[in-house]
Each structure stands twice: as structure tokens, then as C-alpha cells.
A and B are shown apart, each in its own frame.
Chain A
Amino acid sequence: MHIDWFIFFSQIVNLLILMFLLKKFLFGRIIGAMDAREAKIGAVFTEAEKSRQEAQAAAENHRSRLRELEAGYEQMLIKARQDAEAYQEQLLEKAREEVDFLKARWMEALRSERANFLQELRRLAGNQIYAVSRRVLKDLAGLNLEERIVEVLMERIEAMDAEERKKFQKPAETGGSVMISCAFEIPPATQTRLNDVLHRFFSESIAIVYERSDDILSGCELRLNGHKVAWSVKDYLDSLEERFYSALYEETQEWKQVKEGVDHE
């Protein structure tokens, strides 16, 4: 075991050369890279810390705003409820007004329709009654309805009391004329008999005028100076209309009660 001094010094020189080369090619470079990475990571951490602080500040801001919102929430809720109730009341009022308006219009339309209906009913019923009566009289008694109507008119004239008859006689004597209005043409024979009755009861000189009028519902009337004797189906029709109206009214009331009951349910 000896030391070779040439090798000894060579190894020292080798070590020094190795140190120089490693310093140049390894340590300097690799430490530079490590330090650069460390600096980069440090910068990233600094940035992250900054971001974290910003996020924390934002979160705190958010929380405080949330607290403010929560504080104002109840008040907003109460106000919203009040507004909603007021709006609901307003809408209800408007709806009620609209309903009232529609109801009034509907009632008006109903009344108008009812009036039209009754008018039409009256007309149709008059015609029908007239036709039926005419046929019944003809079938059962062999009588002509028009003649019978005129006869009834004549019977009424004959049945007048003195007081009533004077109402007609006075104008007749002073030159007034009697107006006979019928819904039909009076047969000539019947007309002659009517003339006789009129001359006999009112005055011989009385002027008699006949006219056809559709306004008189299946009847005849005598007019003289504002006085009148008449027979027509009108009375019966009035009665029918009255009965019909009351029946319609009752039915409407029942329907209304039923509807109100359903609405309440």
C-alpha cells in the first residue's frame, strides 16, 4: 500500500478540472433553471394569493350585500303583498263593473228580446186564434166569423143603455160620421144589417164610413167623435200576453236562483 505521487497530483488536478467543468456545464445551468422555476412558482403563488384575497374580498362584499338584501326582504315582501292586494282589489272592481255592464246590456237585450217575442207571439196567436175560431165556428155552428163579429158589435150597440147611447147620438145628429173599422171586409148583407142598426139607434141621417184596418186584431170597432164600441181578439191576447209574461218571469227567477246557488258552491 503505497502512494504514487504522480497519480496523487494527477488526481488533484483531475478533481480541480472536474470542478471547473461541472461548475460550467452543470451546477450553474441547473441551479439557474431551478431558481428560475422557483421564481416562476413564487410568482404563481403570489398571483394565487392575490387572487385569493380578491376572491375573499368579493365574497365578503357578496355576503354583505346578501345581508342587506335579507334585511330588506321582509319589507319588500310586505310592500309586494300590499301592492298585490291593491291590484287585486282594483281588478275585482273592474271585473265587477264589467259584469254589471254586461249584465245591464244582457238584461236590456233580454227585455228587448222578450218584447219582440211577445209582439210576435201576439201577432201569431191572434192570427191563429182567429183562424181556429173561424174554423170552429164554421165547423160546429155553420157560422161565418166575420158576420158573427159584426153581429156581436151590433148586439153591443143594441145593449147600450140610454146614457151611453146619448154619447153617440149627439155627434150623430150634429152631422158627424160613424167610422166602422174592421180587420176584414164586411159582407154586403151584414153591412146592410149593420147600417139598419146604426140608423135605428143613432140617427137616420148619420153618415157611415167603412174601412179596412190591419191594426185591429181580428175584430171590428165603431168610432164616433172620440167614442168607441168594439170587439176584437185583443182582450184575449192581452190576457194571454199577461199570463205568458208572468210565466216567463217566474222561469227567469228560478233560473237565477239556481245559478246563484251554483256560483256560491
Chain B
Amino acid sequence: MEVVGIDQISPDQVIFFAWHFVTINATLVYTWLIMALLVFGSIAITRNLSSDRTMSRWQNLLEVIIGTIRSEIREIVREGADSYFPFIGTLFLFIFLSNLLTFIPGYVAPTSSLTTTTALAIVVFFAVPIYGISKQGVTEYLKEYFRPVFFFFPFHVMGEISRTLALAVRLFGNMMSHEKVIAILLAVTPLFFPVVMQVLGLLIGLIQAYIFVVLTMVYIASATQTHEDAEHKPKVQQTT
């Protein structure tokens, strides 16, 4: 049951509906599916939350996931972690669930579409200065682009663009290539090996979701840290 043919590289190419520029393709449909799962699942689980020692298994699972994300954010940012939590948490849950469901036949991860990953990266691209300016102010934030000397400005801008591109392409490349590998393996050796690759795919999906949000967090942290803080506490290493 192939939704995306082996010759198609992206779920964008599977179009269910098109009217002028409005197109409803597989990417969009599966995105809505993920959104519906997350939202209705959250409503269902959080309807009867318990703050006592005993709780439901689903609540426990959610608490473990959210507690882990929270502690990761705190380790990187240390101050005001909860203000970034909705953004980072949503990114992680969306990417993680998108990648996780790839073991379901007929499902195509929206993250294997470059359009989706670019959209996510662009959101991060804009979120970083928004958080930076809200924390430091416009002047202080912009000053960072001219440090250590003014002619570093173009390099900073290039860095911003390239890391955003890297974010988008990394996630897209990993997820798309994984799906292609599975499709090719199914055609060549339909037994056993695809299963192993699916299991590996679950791990890759988790790792990619983790990498995406950790990098986003690092970018935000670097943007929100003042110059003085960065000199005294060089704890954040920029990675592209």
C-alpha cells in the first residue's frame, strides 16, 4: 500500500485535491492527522488529571515526555525555561509523532516533505529573533550581529540562513531517505530486512526530533543570552 510511489520523492507530490493554487496533498492530510491525534489525545488524557500519587498510565506517559522536554530546556536555558516550553514542546511532539508513525503501512511522515521541514525551520528562524528581542531588547539583540567587529554582520546573517536551511534539509533528508530505503528494501528483500530498518527508523525518528528541538533551543538560548552572559557563561555551543 504505497501512497508515495518509489519514484516520488515527497508526499507533496501526492495531491488529493487541487483548485487554483489551493492544493490538498498527502503532507497536509497527514499533518492534520497528527494534529488531530495530538489535540484529541491531549483532551482525552488531560480530562481527568490527577495531582495525587496515583495517576493513569497515559498521564504518566505524558508527564514523562513533558518532564524530559522541560528538563532538557532547563539544562540549556536555565532561566525562564517555561516561556519557551509551548514552542519547543509543540515542535518536539509534532516531529516525534510524525516520525514515529512511519511504521504504520500507508502512512507518510509529513516531515519527509521539504515544504514541511522548511516551514518548521522558518518558524524557528523567526522565533529566535522574537525571543531574543523580547529578552534583550532590539538594540542589544542587533548589536550581537556586529560583534566582535562590524564586518562580521554578513557572516552572522549567512550563519542564520544556513543553519535554518540545515535544520530543514537535515530533517527532510533523514526522513525522506529512510522512507526511500524502506521502499527499496521492500522491493528487493520483502522479508525481515524492512522490519529491521523500520525499527531503526523509530530510533532515527526520535533522534531527529530531539536534534531539531535541541538545536532550536540552542539558537534561542544564544539569541536570548546577553553578550556579558555569553562571556561569563560560555555554556552554549552553536551547532549548524
A105 within 8 A of B: no
Partner of B46, one of A16, A29, A37: A29
Say whether A22 contacts B10, CB under 8 Å. no
Q: Is the interface of B mostly helix, strand, loop or mixed?
A: helix
Residues of B within 8 A of A9 (CB): 119
Would you call A17 and B35 a contact (CB within 8 A)? yes
Q: In B43-77, which residues have CB < 8 Å from any A CB?
A: 43, 46, 49-53, 59, 62-63, 66-67, 70
B28: A residues at CB distance < 8 A: 7, 10-11, 14
Contact A15 B123 (CB under 8 A): yes
The answer to whether A3 touches B87, judged by C-beta atoms less than 8 angstroms apart, is no
* Cβ–Cβ contact B66 & A27, under 8 A: yes
**B90 and A18 form a contact (CB under 8 A):** yes
CB distance from A196 to the nearest CB of B (A): 141
Q: Is B226 an interface residue (CB 8 A)?
A: no
Knowing A22-B42, A36-B51, say if A8 contacts B115 (CB, 8 Å): yes
Is the Cβ of B59 less than 8 Å from the Cβ of A6?
no
CB within 8 Å of B: which A19-35 residues? 19, 21-23, 25-27, 29-34
Asked if A78 lies at the interface with its beta carbon under 8 angstroms from chain B, I say no
Q: How far is the CA of A12 from the CA of B9 in the complex (A)?
A: 21
For residue B219, CB closer than 8 A to chain A, the reply is no
Q: How far is the CA of A33 from the CA of B122 in the complex (A)?
A: 33
A17–B86 Cα gap in the complex (Å)? 12
Whether the pair A7, B49 counts as a contact (CB closer than 8 A) is no
User: A15-B119, A15-B120 known; A6 and B38 CB under 8 Å?
Assistant: no
Which 6 residue pairs are nearest across A and B when measured between Cβ atoms? A11-B119, A36-B51, A26-B42, A29-B46, A19-B90, A23-B86
21 A–B pairs (Cβ distance < 8 Å), ordered by A = A1-B9, A3-B114, A7-B23, A8-B119, A8-B122, A11-B27, A14-B31, A17-B35, A18-B94, A21-B35, A25-B39, A26-B66, A27-B86, A30-B63, A31-B66, A31-B85, A32-B51, A33-B49, A33-B50, A33-B59, A36-B51
Identify the A interface with B (CB < 8 A).
Answer: 1-12, 14-19, 21-23, 25-27, 29-34, 36-37, 40
